[in-house]
Amino acid sequence: MKNYPFCSVLMPVYNGEKYLKEAIESILGQTFPDFEFIIINDGSTDGTKWILDFYSRSDSRIKVLTQGNRGIVSALNNGLKLCKGEWVFRMDSDDIAIPNRLQLQLNEIREKPDLALVGGFCEQINENNIILRSNKYPAEHKTLINNLESLKPFLPTPTICFKRVAVNEVSGYRERFKYADDIDLWLRLAEKGRFCCVQEVVTKLRKHSSNFSTVHFKEFQIYGDCAVVCYFRRKMGLSDPSSSDNITWHNFKGWVESRLDEMGIFEEEAACQLLRDLWISNAGIPLTKKLISLLKNCKIEFLLLKYVFRRFSGNIAYKLAVQSKGLFK
């Protein structure tokens, strides 16, 4: 009988040569050494392959799978098939794991056997490793789920580990949610066990102009809301459009997008994106000066106020789920 490590680290990468060495070394330098490191090269065309070849030759814990460029969902699902550990720790190729990240989260796992997902705090850093801010998250399952249901700040993927069997039971990541595949998975995983968050920093999360969520923030909003609406529909005993045929799914996604557009959600999110970009590009400048420079634009000021008001006016995805009754079979 083979003895497998208790945990697997899963990292997809596409053209990630700029930060890849730091990401890999932050995992290899963990204080808890008994893990396998599964890296999926999603058809990179830069120097990623050579970096992966070097590290895989130097450390037997690393297993590299190279595939054609089929996207992150394909890469993650193929990686999951290779994972042997009971728990899978997600990692991104531009982030840095704190040296005791695995140990901190494993301590929580061993104390609470009903867990399906564990996250942690993070520090946001820029391209030069300068700390921009620290992000803290609630420890309790109920509050974490409430944040997820309302698309409020939730645990960043590179801080998360999850029970492999539970993820396999819900069939892993889904291509239909390619811009919010993690949100969709976490919502389905919430039905398999409890969530918690280690109250310590476990990852340094790199923020830069090429971040997926920065480039595709509109798509993230659409697919994220689709995931939550489908989740609420399941809870109401209604059909799940994401599990239906292509025509139903296309019509449902289009309906959600049109409703969000009518409510002005995309304009609000664009204003918030400007604020995030300002934060990232002006490290070291006091927050007050950053806000003053941004709020000189009256339209942006109005949209940000509207965004804040919306956050306290009820769950939009839940309202859309109620409105969708009878529209999709």
Provide the pLDDT for residue 302. Answer: 47
Contact 17, 48 (CB under 8 A): yes
Mark whether 16 and 103 lie in a shared domain: yes
Contact 264, 306 (CB under 8 A): yes
Counted domains in the chain: 2
> For residue 278, what are its two tokens?
């300002």
Mark whether 130 and 222 lie in a shared domain: no
| Helices and strands (H, E) in the chain, number of each type | 14, 9
Q: Give the span between the Cα atoms of 84 and 106, in whole angstroms.
A: 16
Q: Give the span between the Cα atoms of 250 and 203, in whole angstroms.
A: 36
User: Would you give the DSSP letter of residue 193?
Assistant: S
Domain boundary at 182, 209, 236, which? Answer: 209
Mark whether 149 and 291 lie in a shared domain: no
Question: Mind listing the pLDDT tens digit for each residue in 37-58?
Answer: 999 999 999 999 999 999 999 9
In a domain, 328, yes or no: no
Question: Mind listing the pLDDT tens digit for each residue in 272-298?
Answer: 665 555 555 555 555 566 555 555 554
Mark whether 141 and 273 lie in a shared domain: no
Mark whether 70 and 201 lie in a shared domain: yes
In a domain, 240, yes or no: yes
Which helix or strand (DSSP H or E) is residue 237 part of?
Answer: none
**Residue whose pair of structure tokens reads 């720790």 in the numeric block:** 89
Domain boundary at 175, 209, 243, which? Answer: 209
Mark whether 121 and 183 lie in a shared domain: yes
In a domain, 69, yes or no: yes
Mark whether 244 and 198 lie in a shared domain: no
Contact 321, 229 (CB under 8 A): yes
In a domain, 1, yes or no: no
Mark whether 240 and 172 lie in a shared domain: no
> For residue 287, what are its two tokens?
């927050």
Provide the pLDDT for residue 247. Answer: 94
In a domain, 316, yes or no: yes
Mark whether 98 and 229 lie in a shared domain: no
CATH of the domain at 140: 3.90.550.10
Mark whether 81 and 159 lie in a shared domain: yes
In a domain, 2, yes or no: no
Mark whether 57 and 197 lie in a shared domain: yes
Mark whether 289 and 314 lie in a shared domain: yes
Q: Give the span between the Cα atoms of 281 and 208, in whole angstroms.
A: 8
DSSP character string of 128-145: T--EEEEE----SHHHHH
In a domain, 280, yes or no: yes
Domain that holds residue 296: 216-323
Secondary structure of 64-124 in HEC code, one letter for each residue: EEEECCCCHHHHHHHHHHHCCCCEEEECCCCCEECCCHHHHHHHHHHHCCCEEEEEEEEEE
- Under-70 pLDDT residues of the chain: 1-2, 208-216, 266-314
In a domain, 192, yes or no: yes
- Length of the chain equals 329
Residue 37 CA, chain-centre distance (Å), reads: 19
Closest CA to 157 of 76, 241, 238: 76
* Identity of residue 224: G
State the pTM of this model: 0.85
SS3 214: helix
Phi-psi region of 129 (alpha: psi -120 to 50; beta: other; left: phi over 0): left
Q: Give the span between the Cα atoms of 182 and 228, in whole angstroms.
A: 12
Domain boundary at 209, 239, 262, which? Answer: 209
Provide the pLDDT for residue 284. Answer: 55
